[in-house]
Amino acid sequence: MNLLLRNGILIDGAGRDGRRADVLVIGEGIAEVGVFEPPEGVRVIDCTGMVVSPGFVDAHSHSDLQVLEDRLEKVRQGVTTEVVGNCGFSPYPAPADPKPLREFANGVFCGDESWGWPSARAYLAEAARSPAVNVASLVGHGSLRIAVAGHRLGPLTAREMERMEGLLEESLTGGACGFSTGLMYAPGSSAPREELERLCRIVGRHEKIYATHMRSYTSGLVAAVEEQLELARRTGCRLQISHFQAAAASNWRLQRPALDRIEQAARDGLDVAFDCYPYVAGSTVLTQLLPQAALEGGREALLARLADPHERARIERETEAAFEWRWSDIYISAVGSARNRAAVGRNLAQLAAERGRKPVEVITDLLVEERAQVNIIAFNQSEENLRETLTHPLSMVVSDGFYVRGRPHPRLFGTFPLWLGTFVRERRWLSLPEAIARITWRPAERFGLKQRGRLEPGYLADLTVFDPHAIDSPATYEEPERPPVGIRYVIRNGKLQYSAS
């Protein structure tokens, strides 16, 4: 049924001020914007006092598998499109035996032993039938590597390299909106520069985006930024730096010099931008704290190393030497087994005291006990730094959300309402139109989502209607699943997708 959204405050997604008007939705698209009498047979939705904006675009999500299900977590936040396939993890191209790909990505996908698609085209065909959101996908470098060389680290053979280039080419022509790397995750982390250059050149030729989880967000931040800027300069690809931040208190001072490099590159004409989530804590897998060489060969190989007292001591030494947080900054957020359920919500310092172990031994103990499947929440950032990135002219706001079997990071449930409520309405970090641009038109344009992200005739009717005085997220680290407030209606491709009763 066609819809008339009546008397709302329209904010167009491009940063312009709001104005009072009606929106007429016919079929999948926005037909007219203005003030008019409802034509025959349309359903009228009263939006008095509400903001009507383009549906929110979550440009950095790890819901690659969950977007295929009828889930509410993102829709309830006003999200109508998710960009998945981030940080090197995509659910394709799966090798004939998808086991190694699942082993590589399940910690981030919250997956099981049942998924895997041979190509971008096959995955996107299924994702196009998502009952919840529109899906765009980046093809992951880690997944490409697994497809040609499994869990092996280091340089690829000429033959493997050619196969990988072929798979990237096929993914981009098959509909992937770009390419992502996860240079802190094995095996992608072991790729030599030449490999990344050859791949980015292909991305550049397709004029698609290259999104990177860089080699370091801690003491190596500035060098990591420089590496990625140089890669983009040499290959001509458009660069998106994922979840930009300086992690761990001792590195907070590195954010400014890193931003200086990015700003200079942008002034020099490089097509570069970045994204951030509006929380001081991040979320990842516990194996991220290990030297990535310990992961060579996959999970079984890691567990075999940890079973050898000599190897285990070496891994612990290297982990401790590279650790830049306070032990109390790292919280366990998910474990697979019942025996460690009590560890969820506790930090490494607390667990060490309770167990009479060193914090680094808690890490290796948990990895052994949980067969390497443990998720963490890490308190990474300062609020000053967060403000600087979220309000930066080159930034956009994303969730970076992922599912875990335990207690997920609240960003999965609250990113967009929190951004518009706590940060924009209450703290006044940005104007509402500019804040909305960072979650609509800017990511849609950046990731090449056609006809989305703007509230204008001719665009697809993805619309979010919310109460600007109420919108917010009450989700906390302790109770992440508390649903957002203030979202009234979500319309996707012209259909009412969600309505708060």
**Closest CB 243 distance from Zn ion, rounded Å:** 6
Residue closer to Zn ion (CB basis): 213 or 407: 213
Which strands make up the sheet holding 79-84, listed edge to edge?
Answer: 56-58, 79-84, 134-140, 178-182, 209-213, 238-241, 272-276, 395-397
Cα-only R_g, the chain: 22
Query: 24: which strand partners?
Result: 4, 32
Length of the chain: 501
Of the listed pieces 23-31, 80-88, 121-129, 152-160, which binds Zn ion according to CB under 5 A? 80-88
**Closest CB 432 distance from Zn ion, rounded Å:** 28
Residue closer to Zn ion (CB basis): 185 or 466: 185
What one-letter code names the amino acid at 481?
E
**Closest CB 125 distance from Zn ion, rounded Å:** 26
With CB under 5 A as the rule, give the number of residues binding Zn ion. Answer: 2
Query: 241: which strand partners?
Result: 212, 274
Residue closer to Zn ion (CB basis): 74 or 213: 213
**Closest CB 108 distance from Zn ion, rounded Å:** 8
Residue closer to Zn ion (CB basis): 115 or 185: 185
Tokens 């190897």, residue located: 311
**Closest CB 182 distance from Zn ion, rounded Å:** 6
Query: What tokens were used for 143?
Result: 């997944």
Distances (CA, A) of 256 to 252, 266, 440: 8, 15, 26
Residue closer to Zn ion (CB basis): 284 or 440: 284
Of the listed pieces 124-132, 210-218, 252-260, 444-452, which binds Zn ion according to CB under 5 A? 210-218
For Zn ion, the binding residue among 141, 208, 213, 215 (CB under 5 A) is 213
Q: Which of residues 291-320 bind Zn ion (CB under 5 A)?
A: none
CA distance 132 to 367: 34
- Per DSSP, helices labelled H in 268-308 are 299-307
Query: How many C-beta atoms lie closer than 10 Å to residue 467's C-beta?
Result: 17
Which strands make up the sheet holding 330-335, listed edge to edge?
Answer: 281-285, 374-379, 330-335
**Closest CB 107 distance from Zn ion, rounded Å:** 12
Residue closer to Zn ion (CB basis): 87 or 439: 87
Residue closer to Zn ion (CB basis): 215 or 492: 215
The interface mask with Zn ion, positions 35-74, x = CB under 5 A, is ----------------------------------------
Query: How many C-beta atoms lie closer than 10 Å to residue 139's C-beta?
Result: 29
| 3-class SS letters over 421-481 | HHHHHHCCCCCHHHHHHCCCHHHHHHCCCCCCCCCCCCCECCEEEECCCCCECCCCCCCCC
**Closest CB 189 distance from Zn ion, rounded Å:** 12
Of the listed pieces 7-15, 212-220, 335-343, 489-497, which binds Zn ion according to CB under 5 A? 212-220
Q: For residue 30, state whether it binds Zn ion (rule: CB under 5 A).
A: no
CA distance 285 to 276: 19
Tokens 């830049």, residue located: 324
Of the listed pieces 85-93, 168-176, 382-390, 472-480, which binds Zn ion according to CB under 5 A? 85-93
Query: What tokens were used for 89?
Result: 């993890």
For Zn ion, the binding residue among 10, 11, 47, 87 (CB under 5 A) is 87
Residue closer to Zn ion (CB basis): 55 or 85: 85
Residue closer to Zn ion (CB basis): 211 or 424: 211
In degrees and rounded to multiples of 5, residue 47 shows phi and psi of: -115, 20
**Closest CB 223 distance from Zn ion, rounded Å:** 18
Q: Are strands 134-140 and 487-492 parallel, antiparallel or unpaired?
A: unpaired
Residue closer to Zn ion (CB basis): 177 or 463: 177
Distances (CA, A) of 461 to 25, 132, 495: 7, 15, 8
Q: Which of residues 328-387 bind Zn ion (CB under 5 A)?
A: none
Of the listed pieces 209-217, 332-340, 348-356, 483-491, which binds Zn ion according to CB under 5 A? 209-217
Spatial CA neighbour of 138 closest among 104, 187, 175, 101:
175
Of the listed pieces 46-54, 160-168, 205-213, 435-443, which binds Zn ion according to CB under 5 A? 205-213
Enumerate binding residues for Zn ion (CB under 5 A).
Answer: 87, 213
